[in-house]
Amino acid sequence: MAFPFEIIVARIETLPLDAVVNAANRDLAPGSGVDGALRAAAGPALTQHTALMAPLDVGEAVLTPGFGLPARNIIHTAAPIWSVPGQEGAKVAGLARCYGASIALAEEHALASIAFPCLGTGNYGWPRGFACGIAIAACEEALEAAPNVKRVVFCCFTEADAELYRKGVAE
C-alpha cells in the first residue's frame, strides 16, 4: 500500500487542513510548545472548550473545533513522558496509540487530511529518531483501517526532524 505521507517544515498552527494534532498534556490544560502555539492561534475559545473536557489517558485522542486556526479541527492526544520510570514497551505502545487514535478519530469524522507534530519529542523527552520510527509505523498500521484519510502530514519544526522522517518513510 502506498501511504499518503508528506513531510514539511512549518508551524502546525498555520496549516489549512481538516485536522491538526495537538501534543496535549493529559489534563488538556494550556501548555507550551505545540500546545501553546495552537492555543495562541486558535484563540481563548479553545482553552474555554478544553477546560470543560475530561482528562485524557496516554494514547487517547479527542476532537475539538479549530476555532481561529486555518485547520477546521484539532485532535488532542497525550503522549507518555519518556523520562518517567516505566517499561519501555509500554511507553512505545502509548506513543503508537497517540497516532492510531488520532487517525481513527479522523476516519470517524470523515476528515481527509491530518497533520502531526513530532509527538513526544519536546518537553516529553523522546529521542527524536526513535519517536519518528514509531510515528511512521503507527500511521502505516492505522491507515489500513482509515480509507477516508487521504493525506497525512508530518509537520516538523526543524529541517533536522524532517530529514529523520524522510529517511524513515523511504525505508
Domain boundaries, the chain: 5-170
Contact status, residue 115 vs residue 155, Cβ threshold 8 Å: yes
Separate counts of helices (H) and strands (E) for the chain: 5, 6
> How many whole angstroms separate alpha carbon 139 and alpha carbon 126?
18
pTM, two decimals, is: 0.96
C-alpha cell at 118: 513530532
Work out the pLDDT band at 171, boundaries 50, 70, 90.
Answer: confident
> How many whole angstroms separate alpha carbon 53 and alpha carbon 113?
24
Question: pLDDT tens digits for 107-165?
Answer: 999 999 999 999 999 999 999 999 999 999 999 999 999 999 999 999 999 999 999 99
pLDDT at 1: 62
Collapsed DSSP state (helix, strand, coil) of residue 6: strand
Let me know the angle formed at the C-alpha of 5 by 145 and 133, rounded to the nearest 5 degrees. Answer: 85
Question: pLDDT tens digits for 70-91?
Answer: 999 999 999 999 999 999 999 9
As its CATH architecture, domain 5-170 has: 3-Layer(aba) Sandwich (3.40)
Question: pLDDT tens digits for 4-38?
Answer: 899 999 999 999 999 999 999 999 999 999 999 99
Contact status, residue 73 vs residue 83, Cβ threshold 8 Å: no
The position carrying cell 512505545 is: 92
